[in-house]
Amino acid sequence: MLDELTEKLEKALKKITGQGKITESNISETLREIRRVLLDADVNYKVAKDFIEKVKEKSLGQEVINSVTPGQLITKIIYDELVELLGNQSSELEVNPNGLTTIMLIGLQGSGKTTFSAKLAKYLKNKKQNVLLVAADVYRPAARSQLKILGSQINVPVFSIDESNDPVTISVESLKYAKENGLNTVIIDTAGRLHVDDEMMIEAAKIKERVKPTQTLFVVDSMTGQDAVNSAKAFHEKVDFDGVVLTKMDGDSRGGCILSIRAIVDRPVKFVSLGEKLDSLELFYPDRMASRILG
Ligand code: GDP
């Protein structure tokens, strides 16, 4: 994960960590190099620019120039700024203490939404929640059966109305079913399309309005770089969400989306998904991710 980004950052920082004494021009040169590395990793242009400016401001303080280990100090400044960029603290899933917790998942087709819904169900079941999965993706032909198979693998019931093509009705009915059957957590897998389109947004907004979810999570394929950030922006404007799930982090994601998304939509990353297996899910910790990135 993110190996290329880590390698290039290490290389850029090596030039400066080896030096006993550094000058303003050494610092500027290193930061220019790091900016290039970030842009190569597909980090949003403005996010990369702001990041470098912040690091530069801190690095040019006398403290760094006069330090005996200026390189290490700069590395520490970059680490701190990365943690900040990634959201500082981990952000747990919000639950409704007084009743039903409803989690609505939105995102493009193929983002890993259905897989994530089962992963989340397993994660919450392990936390002693009584979970219901809801098959509200009525457009992708295999989505309902895929969810039913996943549900049976983890012993979590799946609510579906096979004869209905109305995701709003399915979602609303699922809440009744959960209440009647003593379940306290509902995860709604909504439909995605291949590209951002108005119809999908209107439908997701309608479900949201009727269900009033405790949390809405936007699921996005981390391998899609700037496209991931653009779709996050579109969903944020049209439907809005409380947190982000980055999937396929086990692949060779260049890192751009991970570093840009929070700054662009101002919503925390809550989970990262690291494979097709149902237990390959991690809570997102900004400090751990920053350490991973810096190697
Ligand atoms: P949906 O259309 O958003 O519901 O996407 P799916 O859940 O069907 O996932 C699309 C494809 O991505 C499937 O082949 C999944 O097995 C795969 N997938 C989902 N999450 C991950 C992940 O974290 N890592 C990897 N490598 N593949 C994933």
Q: What is the ipTM for the molecules in this complex?
A: 0.99
Look at residue 20 in the predicted model and tell me its pLDDT: 64
Look up the pTM and report it.
0.94
Nearest 5 degrees, angle CA 191-CA 113-CA 118? 115
- Distance in angstroms (rounded) separating the CA atoms of residues 157 and 168: 19
Task: Indicate the annotated binding residues for GTP.
Answer: 107-114, 189-193, 247-250
Spell out, as residue ranges, where the chain has pLDDT lower than 50.
none
What integer pLDDT is reported at residue 62 of this predicted model? Answer: 67
- Ligand 1 centre distance from Cα of residue 213 (Å): 23
Residue to substitute in 115, 196, 273, 274 for testing ligand 1 pocket (most ligand atoms within 8 angstroms of CB): 115
Query: What are the distances in angstroms from CA 289 to CA 5, 92, 123, 265, 295?
Result: 12, 16, 20, 19, 10
Task: Output the pLDDT for position 238.
Answer: 94
Q: What pLDDT does residue 237 have?
A: 95
Q: What is the pLDDT of residue 213?
A: 97
Pocket test for ligand 1, best of 109, 188, 276 (most atoms within 8 A of CB): 276
Question: Which residue type occupies 100?
Answer: L
DSSP H helical segments within 94-244, as ranges? 113-126, 143-154, 167-180, 198-211, 225-238
Beta bridge partners of 220: 246
Which has the closest alpha carbon to 191: 101, 106, 72? 106
Strand partners, 41: none
The Å distance, Cα 250 to ligand 1 centre, comes to 11
Residue 135 forms beta bridges with which residues?
Answer: 189
Helix (H) or strand (E) holding 244: strand 243-247
**Structure confidence by residue, pLDDT tens digits, 28-53:** 899 999 999 999 999 999 999 999 99
